Amino acid sequence: MTELPEPLPDAVPLPDPQATGLYWRAAGTADIEAWAALIARTAAVEQPVWYEKAADLDHILQSSKNDPAVDTVLGFDTDGVPRAYGRVDKNPDGEKAFGYACVDPAWQRRGIGTAILAWLEGRTRHRFADDAGQHGAPGEAPVPRLRLFMEEKMVHQSALFGARGFGVVRWYNEMHRPLDGGLPDISLAPGLELLTLEPGLHEAARLAHNDAFRDHWGSEPRDEEAWRFIMEDPLHREDLSAVVRDTASGDIAGYQIALFDPDAAAARGYKEGYTELLGVRRQYRGRGVASSLLADAMHRFVAAGMDVASLDVDSENPTGALALYLKMGYTAVNRSMAWDKVL
């Protein structure tokens, strides 16, 4: 049997100020506006599909599963302006950590990105060791894994990740469906009903999600706090989200959770109803639940003045979701990748 790793030093070394030209500390609520401005400056140059705004950062800092005092780092210039950041996100019993970062375009190509990746790796090792000590069973050794996401067009990030030993483990397609033509019909099988995802259905939807995604690559069960984090996302639109319920048992057969980002609409020139999560429990698959939820979402999006329905799909999704989306008129407009490094 393997043993738990030796305890790590209490603190992960911050990036070197002499090497990076920045001084570093953890992020706090007082930094949110300047932090969001850093991300916006970077996004203005790199043009990602979506990026975090001030409300998102505030939402992130309120999560209890990650401690911003040790799971975030901000790099400041001599005028006190944030020029780079890193953040680790991990479920306490999760099998991987997620890393997020950016460097101000005016400060890129100075080794700062490499320094942040080194910090992310160090913090990930600490998180796994800490979580193993609190949640691990005797004899279990954690295997630290760090996952990063990037859009295919970000070639500079690809070079950086590869140089640090990360490898692509999954591809995703961003798909759009224009809403200015005909919309598909909502056709539920007998014994099923479609309802707006109201607060009283949140817990049932969480249980349905964990059941639906237990056979999906990379998915981890969501506890009540993690699900509440999604429901309280500043962009979540309850009126655009729905569930399909079994009228006999009362069980949730499937669900569709939608977001709308008004800032992205202003920047991109069209309003996009985005399906953040779509799932169908195994015993209800093949009965038109997913197609009915997507059709319902399109009707809701149109009623709310949206121009496009969109979603992202794992290119190797085991449920055949990609074929369904293509059949319903979605087309791929962008690709992104997940990069992993086992530490």
pLDDT digits (tens, 9 = 90+) for 249-272: 999 999 999 999 998 888 889 999
Say if 340 falls within a structural domain: no
CATH number at residue 69: 3.40.630.30
Supply the range of the domain harboring residue 267: 172-335
With 0-12 / 13-18 / 19 or more C-beta atoms within 10 angstroms meaning exposed / middle / buried, residue 323 is exposed
In 3D space, the residue among 195, 212, 167, 192 whose CA is nearest the CA of residue 288 turns out to be 192
SS3 139: coil
Contact 36, 52 (CB under 8 A): yes
Q: What is the mean pLDDT of the chain?
A: 92
**Confidence label for 215 from pLDDT (cuts 50, 70 and 90):** confident
**Do 42 and 147 belong together in one domain?**
yes
d(CA 33, CA 174): 29
Domain boundary among the residues 165, 184, 217 is at: 165
Question: How many CB atoms sit inside 10 A of residue 200's CB?
Answer: 8
Residue 124: half-sphere exposure toward Cβ, Cα within 13 Å: 28
User: Same domain, yes or no, for 72 and 159?
Assistant: yes
Query: Taking Cα atoms as reference points, which of 169, 174, 171, 99 lies closest to residue 339?
Result: 169
pLDDT reading at 5 higher than 60: no
Assess whether 160 and 176 both reside in one domain: no
In Å, how far are 192, 204, 254, 296 from 211, measured between CA atoms?
A: 18, 11, 10, 22
Q: Say how many domains are in the chain.
A: 2
pLDDT tens-digit map of 115-166: 999 999 999 999 999 988 775 544 566 799 999 999 999 999 999 999 999 9
Residue that terminates a domain, selected from 137, 165, 193 = 165
- Residue 66 belongs to a domain: yes
Mean pLDDT score, 30-54:
96
